[in-house]
Every structure is written in structure tokens, then in C-alpha cells.
Amino acid sequence: MNLKVNYFENNLKFDNDNIQVIEIENKKMFYRFISNLYEIRNGLNVNELYFYDDNNDELNLTNKIEVYTNFFDFDINSKKNLNSLTKIIINSLSDKDQNNIFNTYKKIYKSLSNILTNIDLPITINDTFSIEDLIKLSKISINIKNDLLDNLLLLIDLEKILKLNNILFFVNLKQFLNNDELIELYKYAIYNNIIIVLIDSQSYGATINFEKKLIIDSDLEEFVL
């Protein structure tokens, strides 16, 4: 997968062998690039960014990328993630499992109905329900970790299972992880065939293991490492 950015001199190639790092010291360009990514994430078409495959055919990644900027409040239990997880659970249920769930709820429904007959109020219970409704009633959630690196590895696990995005972009992540932690993250993403891209607002110099890097300095000069 490749990306042409109209205001970059160099095109970018994303693969599962290396991690693409983009370090943009020019503040206006940094903001412009992140804004464009957010627009694509939120379902808008952005003419300045062009994703394409190795045959030069355009790839539509609208709503198919995720951009992470807040590493203190991961939205791991987003509606999007939980809905996708619910579908996976439903598809994993056997007919016997579904019947057991329905029969259990029928018993609950019957007990509640008997109780409500003794309450002098016009109360009704919905007797029409689907397996999806019942699973959502259980309020399934994904356990968030207490460590940043653990949460990042969890995001990769989620992406591998849910398959919601083509690329995960992490903004200014290098402010929070040391080189050993970054390498562990890189190795885990590469092993699981999940494309991640790091974008930073300052340059960290030479590459570390598994990195390839584009540096854009404050004067918009570009350097490929």
C-alpha cells in the first residue's frame, strides 16, 4: 500500500516488513497532514491524499483508518469496536448455544411478567428480542490495561480480530515510549501483519530497528532514512 501526499515531495510505502515513521518539524504542515487523516477517518474524501496499491490503482480508505492522538484515554470500547465484537460472537454461536440463550431469557421474561402483574401500573415488557439484543444486554467490554505499551499491543490484537482498519496512525507516540518499547511494538505489529505509522512533530534523528523514516524539517526540506 502506498500514499501520495500532494504537499510531500516523497511518496510513502506501507508494508509489513518495516514501520513507516514520519517526522514533520514544520508545524503548519504537521497540522495539515493530521487534519487530512482525521477527515479520511471521519468519512470525508480528501483530494490531497491518494492511497494506491502496487499496481497504481486507487484505494478508498475512507472510514478505514484510525488516528490515535490521546494516549491517556483509549476508546477501546467504542461503539464501532463493540458492535464488531458482537457480530463475531454471534457468528461463533452454535444453534444449541443460541437456543440455550433464548430459553434462559424466556425464563427471565416469565419471572418478570409474574412480578409485574402485582404492580398496579401499565407496564409492559418487550417479548420480541434477537440474539444480538441479548448479547448486548450482557454489556460485554474489553479490559483496558494500565500500561501504555500493553494498550498499544491490545489495539493490534483488536485490529487483527475485528479487521476494521487498514492502517493505524499514532501521533507523537515517541514522546511516551523509549526505544526498547518502540521496537517491541514494531515487532508485534509486523508479526501480526498490522500496518502502523508513527507521525511526530519533531525529529528523533537516526532510525532504530524496523524503522524507515521520512523527515520534513521546518524549512520543508525532506530526508529519507
How is residue 111 annotated by DSSP?
H
CATH code (residue 212): 3.40.50.11940
Domain coverage including residue 119: 80-137
* N residues, the chain: 225
**Range with lowest mean pLDDT among 10-24, 29-43, 123-137, 187-201:** 123-137
Sheet strands (E) in 115-185: 167-171
Number of domains in the chain: 2
Same domain as 62, residue 148: yes
Same domain as 110, residue 16: no
How does pLDDT run across 2-23, given as a tens digit for each residue?
A: 999 999 999 999 998 999 999 9
Indicate the pTM of the whole model.
Answer: 0.91
Residue 175 burial (C-beta neighbours within 10 Å; 0-12, 13-18, 19+): exposed
In what order do the strands lie in the sheet containing 167-171?
65-68, 167-171, 196-200, 19-24, 211-216, 222-224
What pLDDT, on the 0 to 100 scale, is given for residue 102? 87
Same domain as 171, residue 128: no
Same domain as 180, residue 211: yes
- Tell me the mean pLDDT in the region 49-59: 96
Same domain as 220, residue 121: no
What pLDDT, on the 0 to 100 scale, is given for residue 74? 82
Same domain as 36, residue 108: no
Sheet strands (E) in the chain: 2-5, 12-13, 19-24, 49-52, 65-68, 167-171, 196-200, 211-216, 222-224
How does pLDDT run across 62-91, given as a tens digit for each residue?
A: 999 999 999 998 889 999 999 999 999 999
Same domain as 8, residue 39: yes
Q: Is the pLDDT of residue 34 over 80?
A: yes
Same domain as 198, residue 155: yes
Same domain as 151, residue 103: no
Same domain as 218, residue 128: no
Q: What is the rounded average pLDDT for all residues in the chain? A: 94
What pLDDT, on the 0 to 100 scale, is given for residue 206? 97
Name 33's Cβ contacts closer than 8 Å, sequence gap at least 6: 5, 22, 24, 199
- Pull the grid cell for residue 151: 494498550
- 45, 62 in Cβ contact below 8 A? yes
